[in-house]
């Protein structure tokens, strides 16, 4: 049985608050939300409510908030719930404050820099365990205690039992893998293909067509996983098909919503600059990386058509569906089955 833990969640947004509530269910744990938002800190400590993100939900009494980074020295587990673009800089700036025995848990979905995943970047900065925790997980559902599947990814399997106990008797259901890069890439690719599904649905509210493109997307995702160092079977973890289906088919998803906007003709330069769009960044990253690798024909990927949407000024969105259907499906013999 785990000892009482000191848990820190970096960031006071929706996902950090949701996980704080779940982890605070065990009243033996001390759960600190590390924030730069003074109003959020005040509301959590005085009223046990995060007024900015969940104004109707009372947080557990052992959930606290602070701006004092010294709690990092005392924490047994540190969760990063800040945007993917901010994590590496945050760790570079504050790594000397970390408890050297703490587990570092990445909740963010995105690249760490222009060519590497967040764990790959963090491994160059710190010498301590780095865990990925990813899955189909809207924060609103988590904090309302809806059963939620998450994938724990670690190169060292010894941490799997630790996380089983950490989330025991909560609404978080776990699966496990050593394929850290596959989990990270799955969480990035699902945003790209959710945009594609959104564009398709904006043009044709057709179950048949949607299912066709969903299938093509899943096959393309597992092909790309295998080509970029992940394992194809990771697509069947919560972080893979589960997270993709959540993001592609639910209108609470920002990337599906982006696809709907594009498909309806409402995607403007203003929107593209003002909204944080992981899918757009990832699309450009993958296609430009693909172009440097042998034996990957970008013209055979529906991913390439989305790249054209983002990068061709006069792209005719009315041709999007016709163009992706014209692309040759990934051949089965390109896969290495397990």
For residue 190, indicate whether it is catalytic.
yes
Diameter over CA atoms, the chain: 60
User: Which residues, 6 or more positions from 322, have their beta carbon under 8 angstroms from its beta carbon?
Assistant: none
Q: Kindly give the pairing relationship between strand 103-106 and strand 6-10.
A: unpaired
Name the nearest CA neighbour of 237 among 112, 111, 119, 153. Answer: 153
Name the nearest CA neighbour of 195 among 146, 155, 122, 249. Answer: 249
CA distance 90 to 88: 5
- With b for 16 or more beta-carbon neighbours within 10 A and e for fewer, the 106-139 pattern comes to bbbbbbbeeebbbbbbbbeebebbbbbbbbbbbb
Question: Pick the catalytic residue: 109, 134, 190, 280?
Answer: 190
Identify whether the C-beta of residue 277 lies closer than 8 Å to the C-beta of residue 226: no
**Number of helices and strands (H, E) in the chain?**
14, 8
Identify whether the C-beta of residue 34 lies closer than 8 Å to the C-beta of residue 10: yes
CA distance 103 to 135: 19
Name the nearest CA neighbour of 173 among 143, 152, 144. Answer: 152
Identify whether the C-beta of residue 20 lies closer than 8 Å to the C-beta of residue 63: yes
Gap between the terminal Cα atoms of the chain: 35
Active site residues: 190
């Amino acid at each position: 049985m785990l000892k009482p833990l000191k848990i820190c969640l970096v960031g006071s947004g929706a996902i950090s608050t949701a996980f704080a509530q779940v982890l605070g269910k065990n009243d033996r744990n001390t759960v600190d939300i590390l924030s730069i938002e003074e109003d959020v800190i005040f509301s959590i400590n005085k009223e046990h409510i995060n007024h900015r993100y969940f104004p109707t939900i009372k947080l557990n009494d052992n959930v606290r908030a602070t701006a004092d980074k010294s709690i990092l020295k005392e924490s047994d587990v540190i969760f990063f719930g800040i945007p993917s673009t901010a994590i590496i800089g945050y760790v570079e700036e504050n790594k000397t404050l970390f408890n050297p025995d703490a587990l570092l848990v990445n909740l963010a979905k995105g690249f760490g820099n222009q060519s590497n995943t967040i764990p790959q970047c963090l491994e160059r900065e710190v010498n301590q365990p780095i865990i990925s925790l990813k899955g189909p997980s809207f924060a609103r559902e988590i904090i309302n205690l809806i059963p939620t599947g998450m994938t724990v990814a670690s190169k060292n399997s010894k941490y799997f039992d630790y996380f089983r106990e950490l989330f025991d008797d909560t609404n978080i259901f776990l699966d496990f893998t050593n394929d850290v890069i596959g989990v990270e890439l799955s969480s990035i690719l699902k945003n790209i293909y959710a945009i594609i599904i959104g564009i398709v649905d904006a043009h044709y509210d057709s179950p048949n067509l949607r299912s066709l493109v969903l299938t093509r997307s899943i096959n393309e995702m597992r092909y790309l996983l295998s080509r970029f160092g992940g394992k194809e079977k990771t697509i069947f973890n919560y972080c893979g098909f589960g997270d993709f289906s959540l993001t592609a088919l639910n209108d609470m998803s920002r990337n599906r919503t982006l696809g709907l906007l594009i498909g309806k003709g409402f995607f403007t330069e203003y929107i593209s600059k003002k909204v944080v769009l992981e899918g757009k960044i990832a699309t450009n990253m993958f296609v430009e990386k693909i172009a440097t690798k042998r034996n990957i024909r970008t013209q055979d990927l529906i991913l390439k058509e989305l790249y054209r949407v983002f990068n061709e000024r006069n792209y005719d969105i009315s041709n999007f569906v016709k163009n992706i259907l014209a692309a040759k499906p990934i051949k089965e013999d390109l896969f290495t089955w397990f």
